[in-house]
Structure formats: C-alpha cells, structure tokens
Structure 1
Amino acid sequence: MKLRKILRRGLVFASCIIATGCTTIEPWVKPYERQNLADPIMAFSKAPVSDNYLHHVHQAREGARGAEGSAGGGCGCN
C-alpha cells in the first residue's frame, strides 16, 4: 500500500516534469535590450585581443585544447 502511494507520487512528479518541457521558451533578453549587453563596459576584460592571444599561447604550450573557442593551432606563434 505504501509502495503504491510512493509510486503514484513519483508518477505525478515525473509527468509534471515532462509536461513542463513542452512549453514555449521565450528569450530572457529581448532584442531591444541586447544593445545594452553589447556595450564595452559589459566585457569580461579590458584587453580582449591580448587575453585571447595569451589564452591561445597557453593552450598550445600545455597541449590542452578545450572548448573555449580559441582559434588556430600549432606552436602558438600565430
């Protein structure tokens, strides 16, 4: 009896989770708000070009390529 009650609650919970996957997803950032995020003050660093180059050199020297988006390859002299 108790097991049946637990299974029923689990089934209701699972169906609620599955049903929420069918909803439409609206973007959190509206198109007219994207200009605020493209502002240079929102950048992660003050020198993105040199940071990207140093990241590329570090990846080439360590031999560890990740999914950070660094381009190129080889010895790091690009």
Structure 2
Amino acid sequence: MMITKLTALMLLLMMAATLPACSTVQPWERGNLAKPQMALDPHPLQSSLRAHNYGSREAAAGGNAGQGGGCGCY
C-alpha cells in the first residue's frame, strides 16, 4: 500500500510541475519569445551545413536528409 501512495504522490508532483507550462502567452510577451536567443536552434542554416558536412565525411547512414560518399555530394 505504501508503494501506491508513493506512486500517487510522485504522479501528483509531476502533474503540478507541468501545469505552469500550459499557460497562455499575452500579446505583449510574444516579442520576448520571438527573439533569436529563444529559438531551439538559433542558427538553423549553420546546423544544416554542419550536419551535411559531417554526414559526407563519415559516409554513415543516419537521420540526416541524405548521405554522400565523402566527396560532399549527395
């Protein structure tokens, strides 16, 4: 019975921790969230180029768009 109480308490704590994430964003706060520093990937073109170069050098199958043979081509 102690395990179920502990499990219920942990579940309740996890739910309480995720509730603030469901808040709405006010119009005057959207400017702060639109800043480049807030992006998950602040440099998407650079990241794409690095992933392409890495895949071309390694010539390994991965989750990238395409793999080359080491020459940098698809």
User: What is the TM-score with the length of structure 2 in the denominator?
Assistant: 0.47
Larger helix share, 1 or 2: 2
User: What is the TM-score with the length of structure 1 in the denominator?
Assistant: 0.46
